[in-house]
């Protein structure tokens, strides 16, 4: 992306996001400039080693208020870090890398894995992932558009 603010895309406070490397076609993300790190809802998280690489497999409910839709994911581990949540609670989390796609824009980013089962959004996109890539208008939503539904010949 570009460092020129005049050409940076403007995101709303929530956007539809795709994580193509994880097989997640669409997930609503809260664009949270108050959070430094991005995070993704995960459960049944299991670390393992494959061909000398540390990896993690996990499941996700990508849709809010829908525990019936489950996506199984697997990713290389970037790190394991202690992260403080908005309430100041510290938790050790797995960190993975994934391309993030919002509309026509795609860029690499790191995501921590944590349970967000009781949260309104299954994903938070923090300021580190947005830096030099997008601006945020907190008065708006879905500025880049909703991805097409599954089964319409397009897999974001």
The partner residues of 11 in beta bridges, in order of sequence, read 136
* Number of domains the chain contains: 1
Residue 1 placed within a domain: no
Which domain does 40 fall in, by range? 10-136
Q: Which of 14, 32, 19, 56 is nearest to 126 (CA)?
A: 32
Return the DSSP state at 153: S
Q: Do residues 113 and 91 make contact, with C-beta atoms less than 8 angstroms apart?
A: no
**From CA 12, how far away is CA 47, in angstroms rounded?**
34
Residue 106 domain flag: yes
Q: pTM of the full predicted structure?
A: 0.84
Q: DSSP letters of 96-130?
A: EEEEEEETTEEEEEEEEEE--TTSS-SEEEEHHHH
Is 3 among the domain residues?
no
Q: Which residues of the chain have pLDDT under 50?
A: 151-156
φ/ψ of 84, rounded to 5, equals -95, 130
Q: Which CATH number characterizes residue 52's domain?
A: 2.40.70.10
User: Is 149 within the bounds of a domain?
Assistant: no
145 located within any domain: no
Got the DSSP string for 45-79?
Answer: EEEEEETTEEEEEEEE--STT-SS--EEEEEEEEE
Q: Please give the pLDDT value at position 76.
A: 95
């Amino acid at each position: 992306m570009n460092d020129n603010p005049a050409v940076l895309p403007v995101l709303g406070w929530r956007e539809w996001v795709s994580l193509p490397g994880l097989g997640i076609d669409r997930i609503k993300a809260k664009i949270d400039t108050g959070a430094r790190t991005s995070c993704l809802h995960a459960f049944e998280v299991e670390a393992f080693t494959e061909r000398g690489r540390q990896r993690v497999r996990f499941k996700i409910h990508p849709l809010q208020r829908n525990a019936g839709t489950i996506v199984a994911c697997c990713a290389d581990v970037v790190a394991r870090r202690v992260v403080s949540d908005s309430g100041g609670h510290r938790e050790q989390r797995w960190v993975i890398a994934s391309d993030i796609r919002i509309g026509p824009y795609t860029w690499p980013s790191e995501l921590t894995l944590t349970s967000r089962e009781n949260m309104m959004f299954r994903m938070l996109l923090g300021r580190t992932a947005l830096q030099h890539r997008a601006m945020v208008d907190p008065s708006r939503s879905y500025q880049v558009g909703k991805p097409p539904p599954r089964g319409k010949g397009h897999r974001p």
